[in-house]
Structure 1
Amino acid sequence: MQVKRDKMEGLPSHNDLMTCLTSTTTRIPQLLDVMACNPTTATRTLLYGYMTLHWSCIYGHRPGVYSNMTNAEVRKADTTGTAFGYLVHVSNHKTANSFGEAQLYLTAEEFGWMKRWLEIKGTLTCTQSRYFLYTEGKNPFRKLAYSLRMAWADVGLHGPINFTDLRTVHADNAMRFQDKGNRQRVSDFMCHNTATADKFYANNPSLKEAADIRLLFTESLQAAAAASTAAGNEDTFAGIDIDSDSSGEEHSPAPYQDSLPRHVPKRDQSLAEHSPSDMGEERVPYSAPTSPTVASDQLVNMQCVVVISPLVNTLYPV
């Protein structure tokens, strides 16, 4: 992750890419003129560097898309193109199984450079290669990274450069400045899988992104504090006696175990005073008759008063 972070910090800037696009528009026609009258390997290598630099500053394709582009694919685009532009389809590239053909949309001026190069190739020897960026033999040109660095230096820019750097710039710009749908369209066009990039971005936020994430932490803390305050207010309201009358007078507290309700008759209070102890004495008042029948009737007439206390619920037999 540290290596990746260092790489992100060393990516070319937006101004660098705009400078390249301005220079390629001027230099590619000049190099084509040189190849038409005095072709050399060095000039051809520099021309390849400028062409691929121009395409990469726009789309960020892998170099395999350029090296595997065939003459037939370019000519096919010529037959289907219009004044609105030309679309080149490249079938053979690294991620063709996942994304299908790679595309390059080119303006009439940009495609005119390619048409002229096809014409120049027809006048050169050792051009039996079927690839657009030919080399001596039948294989595609494999030194595009070197050609890119030559063009980069010829533009007047310093520092290392490769196709992956230019590709990463486009992927990063799409992530930061496009909505989700447009970002996916850009990624699909450049045959880029965003899964790895998303994992990297999640673990390596920029300074501003880290500041925004800190704000999320603060907002979560404030929301938790607000929720706690709201819960405390609910507990306070729950403790209010909703049965109190409108006059606002306070009711007397409920009696404890040792107290009896105010509405218990005096006769029942005297009976309660002579209640049996915890040792199992009979619940018979001192004046209890000795007759079994009378005693039974009196037990039937005994009353039970429920006293509700805030702390203890007690049954007082009377």
Structure 2
Amino acid sequence: MKGINKSMKRPVSIHQVKVKESKEAKVVSRKTLLECQSLAKANIPEVLKTLEETRTQKNQYQFYGYLCAYFTSLYGHKPGLYKNMLVKEVEEAKCDQTGMYLISVGEHETNRDHGMVQMSLTKDEYTWFSDFLKFKHCLPGGKKSQHFFFNSTSTQLKNLPAYLREVWKEMGLPETPTFTDLRTSIVTHVKNMLPKADRERVANFMCHDIQTADKFYAINLNPAQASETKALFQAALKGEDTSVAAENQASTSSKRKRKAGEEDSLSEGSTTPEKTKVMYQ
């Protein structure tokens, strides 16, 4: 069994590399993500108003699709957050003095390691949820359902990826990314743009750690990062020290030069030539 396990390591590693390469081709640009958030934010109030008037499943699923597009393009949350979200958890959302709301969902696949998965909302964003709950009981299956995202049989809604794709096309955005594509994109942009300390905070909010992100989500270096790394290789071959010690040495050298300059200025200002000669000797 050990021999079989060892023989599988190389094929598995090659497969993982190919999977990451395929993800790289599907990374959604920061511009597209921001455009998605802007369009979804503008459309959600109108879609919610239409849903309240018509109370049809088609408009209900459209509303769900826009919510998923908006918050997933922002936080990169998995679909499990939405399908497991309870009405009780939405109603018990915490609000601070600044008017920000926090919805905490207890049921998700990594709750043992990371606790509840959370979603931060502004007052307007939370209004989308609270207004929906006002007429939820009038929708098919809404009267008995304990979940915020539900179907006509009062059970969890599991077809969220399809509704995400539909609203993505409605907004006229390029390609049709999945939840995984959006999550991978968010993690990749976080890795490329934020320092390590901020990356850890973002990873905790997304209910994973940096090692998980680097192994399963983060993509290869971008051209700028690769160029910086190349410069480090060249510095090593040329014998240039880029460490903190080199910076301290440069600082010490600079202080010595300033001190020598001060001594030179004192000697030049002397009125006695003999003293000047003695100092130089």
Range of TM-score over shorter length: 0.7 to 0.9
SS at structure 2 position matched to 1:159: coil
Residue 190 (str. 1) matches residue 197 (str. 2):
no
Instruction: Give the one of 59, 70, 84 matched to 1:43.
Output: 59
Q: TM-score, normalised by structure 2?
A: 0.74
Change (3 A) 1:92 1:208: same
* Map of 2:267 onto structure 1: none
CA offset at residue 5 of structure 1?
2.0
Residue 140 (str. 1) matches residue 156 (str. 2):
yes
Task: Show structure 1 runs of 5+ residues with no match.
Answer: 225-318
Q: Which amino acid aligns with 1:124?
A: L
Distance 2:149 2:164 in 1: 13
Identity %: 32
Distance 2:67 2:217 in 1: 31
Aligned Cα root-mean-square deviation (Å): 2.1
Describe how 1:261-280 pairs up with structure 2 within 5 A.
Answer: none
* Map of 2:121 onto structure 1: 106
Residue 63 (str. 1) matches residue 79 (str. 2):
yes
Describe how 1:152-231 pairs up with structure 2 within 5 A.
Answer: 152-199=168-215, 204-223=220-239
Distance 2:127 2:158 in 1: 24
Task: Show structure 2 runs of 5+ residues with no match.
Answer: 1-16, 241-281
Q: Which amino acid aligns with 1:73?
A: E
* Map of 1:124 onto structure 2: 139
Distance 1:74 1:202 in 2: 31
* Map of 1:234 onto structure 2: none
Taking CA–CA contacts closer than 8 Å with sequence separation of 6 or more, which of the two structures ends up with the larger relative contact order? 2
* Higher-helix-fraction structure: 2
* Map of 1:238 onto structure 2: none
SS at structure 2 position matched to 1:173: helix
Distance 1:193 1:70 in 2: 26
Distance 1:38 1:201 in 2: 40
1:88-132 deviation per Cα after TM superposition (whole angstroms, max 9, x unaligned): 010001111111001111000000010011012022342111000
Instruction: Give the one of 92, 95, 100 matched to 2:107.
Output: 92
1:192-246 deviation per Cα after TM superposition (whole angstroms, max 9, x unaligned): 232133347999333333333322222111118xxxxxxxxxxxxxxxxxxxxxx
Residue 74 (str. 1) matches residue 103 (str. 2):
no
Q: Which amino acid aligns with 2:110?
A: T
Do 1:69 and 1:132's aligned partners in 2 also have CA atoms closer than 8 Å?
yes
CA offset at residue 159 of structure 1?
1.3
Higher-Rg member (1/2): 1
Distance 1:85 1:15 in 2: 25
* Map of 1:273 onto structure 2: none
Q: TM-score, normalised by structure 1?
A: 0.65
Q: Which amino acid aligns with 2:121?
A: L
Distance 2:98 2:155 in 1: 33
Number of aligned residues:
223
SS at structure 2 position matched to 1:74: helix
Distance 2:226 2:217 in 1: 11
Change (3 A) 1:218 1:158: closer
Distance 2:102 2:127 in 1: 13
